[in-house]
Amino acid sequence: MDKGLNTKKNGNQAMVKICGFIVDKRNLFFLLFGLLIIFSAISRNWVGVENSMSYYLPGTTETRQGLDLMEEEFITYGTCNVMLANVSYEQAENVYERLEKIEGVFSVDFNDTEEHYTNGSAFYNITFDFDEIDDACLVALDRVKELFADYDYYLTTSLGNTQAELIGQEMNTISVLVAVIVVSVLLLTTQAYAEIPVLLITFLSAAVIQMGTNFFLGTISFVSNSVTIVLQLALSVDYAVILLNRYKEEHVSLEAREAIIIALSKAIPEIAGSSLTTIGGLIAMTFMQYKMGPDLGVVLIKAILLSLCAVFLLMPGVIMLFSNLMDKTKHKNFIPDIPFVGKYAYFSRYIVAPLFLVAIVIGYMISKNCPYVFGYSTVTPPLQNRVQKAEEMQETNFGSSNMVALIVPAGNYDSEKAMLRDLDMCPEVDYTMGLANIEAMDGYHLTDKLTPRQFSELIDLDYEVAELIYTAYAVNDEDYAKVVNGLPDYQVPLIDMFMFVYDEVEEGFVTLESDLQETLDDAYRQMNFAKNQLQGENYSRMLVYLTLPEESEETFAFLDKMHDIAGKYYDGTVLVCGESVSQYDLQKTFSRDNMVVNVVSILVVLVVLLFTFKSAGMPVLLIAVIQGSIWINFSVPTLQHDNLFFLGYLIVSSIQMGANIDYAIVIASRYTDLRKTMGRKQSIIDTMNLSFPTIVTSGTMLAVAGILIGKMTSDVAIFGIGKCLGRGTLISIFITMFVLPQILLVGDKIIEKTAFVMNMPIRTKNVTGLMKVDGLVRGKIDGMVTGSMNAIIKGNVSAYVEAGDVTEITKEEYEKLSGEMADQIENGEVKEYV
């Protein structure tokens, strides 16, 4: 074993051996990480991204059940809306005619009403011939875009991943800016310029592997896909900085290899402990009922674990590569001491601590009234992408509609017609659309029942032929009584008869004249299109267009009223789906998720802190500080009357509790250690001087990351997360720097009185012969010995081993180790051996 590692600095020998393996086999780890990076660079393109908020609703919610049922029962055709600006009506009509001729376009809604033409602008509702999940829709959409290429147009559609692509571009820009900020901060907080590439190589490796390994999760949310890289960097930067600082401390007296081995052996427990609070806060997100929380929680936990792997396995080798360069590029420390903060804390301790208790109570009371919202319509992000600009232009000129789908058991057209009539009478309803109220031909609706006479007159068919067709329909329907007794009065819904006739013609049982065949084909195409959308095997779907906004208490109340109206006609399953229903469901899940996230995050962090500080009082004080920061953070939107997207609160409160508490732990740990040898005043002064570089490094990165996300995105959910995270981190930094010290000073006695000692079990060793003793022992070794030992013994040992171990060795090992120790003692290198 190397001489430098035979000193008492080595701590746990097993850990040192593991760390020695990591450092000595660094080329192996370079190879492994290189292969992982190459794989991840490729596999990141295989990751599925889900852009729908409603997709993550629990399966028990009405929206989720309705969406699943609609996917099974109905076809939802692809659509797009296009506003054409600065055109005359004649030009608009010409475009309309050209649109109808595009291959793949089923229909185009356009007329001379204000709904479709006003103020020199035209508005087209385009429906494609294919299911919205069919790629043929995208081909037809491209043809539509080509037609409008020479015009001033604004197109909106749910087809494709345009919104996700735009968000991805925004996050790429944010990531570059965050990287610039990180490098700038590291220039100020590191002590050698060559430290920066060491940290960046570690960060980037973990980030690329994180993106690629999302492939194993299958599909992740657009939020996870967008913000994880930035948050991973901001949340895990501490780990690399801790190891680097440990290395620099050891490198003062040891060569690079020995220094990194010892530094790594000491840093692993410290970093692992620090990461537990962050992971604990993220674990709370996995308990959310709204599944986007678990989605982001799992992705971020994976990101933290991969960052730990990069720091423990890759970074030691990178430090070895850059060790000489780090020695040559040292510069002065740009982070000043801040003794005034500690002095201020000591003299203001009896004022600030009580005031903060009052602030916590006030923050809690105000934050309870935070104006949470559950949809995008009432929040304005700082940026608008081209899709949002198109939506705004369309709404400004032609208004907006709030559509919900009503799903009821199929088979009763009379009930559908009566229910739609009741809904149309409600002032909250603009209009409704279902098979029962869609006009077909000559004033008849699709579900109106016609006799043979009426049907023959409607399509100009011989009555005798009509009778034959009705007879065949009755036989097919096994309604033989109508054939025998009441065929002239036999009534069949118009849509059903058309479908039947078309099938009979297709099978060759009925032959029609060419003009009648053309009428039948056209009618069948229209009716089949409507039926595919509005009638399934077991359920019917009706579209209800509301005059209400997407999100309001009045809207939510009317959704309940719709159930009451439908309940008058149906005893079976009745479901309502739409953006308003999705937001209503989110509101219902929020209260439960809010409580679970808060309780779980506090409990997990509390357990970690109990084992960290071995005091019941310290965890309570630290959690009170961070929880107070959270309440103050979410008091701001209340006071500003600024609507907050609910996801921002759930996610940021978890991250703030799990990550920001690290700043409090840094200060509390330093203060606890210094109090063993110093008075309170000097302890807090030194604590703030020593803690400031760590807090300013990590805190600045997380705050800047949050602020940039909040300022440079067009997505409401991501905007809310970034805005709250940036503000919350700044609040946490301020409170841990200028309030926590006073609380520690005032609570000094509480911490001391609530401390407890966790005694490890004492192991008794009785060995005779040749042996090696490592660690703290107490007992008889041919005499009574108590102390920390590294010894080679020939004789008898009977001792309590409180730390370390006593192991038997061979004669050859004994002679070899004895010779090495003798040389070191003779050279004055080691004085502790017995």
Q: Which domain holds residue 358?
A: 338-377+579-753
Quick one: which of 310, 307, 284 has its CA closest to 297? 284
3-state secondary structure of 105: strand
Find the CATH number of the domain harbouring 112.
Answer: 3.30.70.100
State CA 35 to chain mean position distance. 27
Average pLDDT value over all residues in the chain: 85
Does some domain include residue 280?
Answer: yes
Per-residue model confidence (pLDDT) at position 657 = 84
Cα dihedral sign, 347-350-353-356: negative
Rg (CA), the chain: 36
pLDDT of 824 reads 59
- What are 82's two structure tokens? 């296009």
Q: What six digits make up the tokens of 718?
A: 């991501």
Q: Are residues 770 and 740 in the same domain?
A: no
Nearest to 31 by CA among 205, 216, 261, 260: 205
The domain that contains 670 carries what CATH number?
1.20.1640.10
Q: What pLDDT, on the 0 to 100 scale, is given for residue 245?
A: 82
Q: Which residue has the higher pLDDT, 494 or 697?
A: 494
Domain check: are 329 and 345 in the same one?
no
C-beta separation of 342 from 687 below 8 A: yes
The residue-averaged pLDDT of 803-818 equals: 65
| Residue 700 forms part of a structural domain | yes
Higher pLDDT, residue 801 or 592: 592
Query: What is the C-alpha separation between 177 and 387, in angstroms, rounded?
Result: 24
The answer as to whether 4 is a domain residue is: no
According to the model, what pLDDT value does residue 253 have? 85
Taking each helix axis from N to C end, the angle separating 349-367 and 339-347, rounded to the nearest 10 degrees, works out to: 90
Q: What percent of the chain has pLDDT over 70?
A: 88
Domain assignment of residue 70, yes or no: no
Tokens 């329907």 -> residue: 477
Could you report the per-residue pLDDT of 95-114, keeping only the tens digit for each?
Answer: 999 999 999 999 999 998 99
Closest by alpha carbon to 146, among 155, 133, 159? 155
Q: Give backbone dihedrals phi and psi of 808, rounded to 5 degrees, phi first.
A: -75, 145
Contact by Cβ (8 Å): 576, 405: yes
Mean pLDDT over 257-261 rounds to 92
What is the identity of the amino acid at 650? Answer: L
Higher pLDDT among residues 645 and 238, named by residue: 645
Average pLDDT over residues 680-691: 89
Give the residue-averaged pLDDT of 115-126: 93
Domain boundary among 334, 360, 390: 334
Can you give the pLDDT at residue 8? 42
Query: Are 403 and 274 members of one domain?
Result: no
245 in the same domain as 373? no
In a shared domain, residues 429 and 544: yes
In contact, 696 and 335? CB cutoff 8 Å:
yes
Strands 48-50 and 219-221: parallel
pLDDT digits 0-9 by tens, 284-329: 889 999 999 899 999 999 999 999 999 999 999 999 999 999 999 9
Q: Give 503-539 pLDDT, tens digit per residue.
A: 888 887 777 788 888 888 888 888 889 899 999 989 9
Q: Nearest 5°: phi and psi at 120? A: 75, 15
pLDDT band of residue 650 (cuts 50, 70, 90) is confident
User: Is residue 801 situated within a structural domain?
Assistant: yes
User: Are 604 and 644 contained in the same domain?
Assistant: yes
Token pair, residue 286, equals 């996995």
Amino acid at 777: V
Residue 472 has what pLDDT?
86
Residues 6+ apart with CB under 8 A from 138: 159, 160
362 and 317 within one domain:
no
Are residues 320 and 275 part of one domain? Answer: yes
The span from the CA of 313 to the CA of 309, in Å, is 6
Same domain for 185 and 145? no
Query: What average pLDDT does the segment 616-624 reach?
Result: 88
Average pLDDT over residues 562-572: 90
Three-class SS state of 387: helix
In a domain, 565, yes or no: no
pTM of the complete model: 0.79
Are 156 and 175 part of one and the same domain? Answer: no
Structure tokens given for 444: 């008849």
pLDDT at 749: 82
Residue 778 has pLDDT above 50, yes or no: no
| pLDDT tens per residue across span 78-95 | 999 999 999 999 999 999
Alpha helices in 195-328 (DSSP H): 195-213, 222-251, 256-285, 292-309, 315-328
Q: Please state which of the ranges 194-208, 666-680, 809-823 shows the lowest mean pLDDT.
A: 809-823
Q: What is the pLDDT of residue 12?
A: 62
Closest alpha carbon to 261 in 30, 7, 35: 7
My answer on whether 178 and 262 are in the same domain is yes
- Both 134 and 90 in a single domain? yes
How many C-beta atoms lie closer than 10 Å to residue 825's C-beta?
13
Indicate the residue among 311, 334, 357 that finishes a domain.
334
For the chain, what is the domain count?
5
Detail the DSSP E strand segments found in 583-639. none
For residue 80, is it within any domain?
A: yes
pLDDT above 50 for 768: yes
Give Cβ neighbours of residue 307 (< 8 Å, ≥ 6 apart). 203, 206, 210, 232, 235, 236, 239, 240
Q: Specify the pLDDT at position 482.
A: 63
Query: φ, ψ for residue 763 (rounded to 5)?
Result: -105, 130
Of the residues 134, 160, 186, the one at which a domain ends: 160
The predicted structure's pLDDT at residue 191 = 83
For residue 767, is pLDDT > 60? Answer: no
Length of the chain: 834
| Closest CA relative to residue 277, chosen from 735, 695, 660 | 660
If one counts every other C-beta atom within 10 angstroms of the C-beta of residue 358, the result is: 9
Q: Does the residue 22 lie in any domain?
A: no
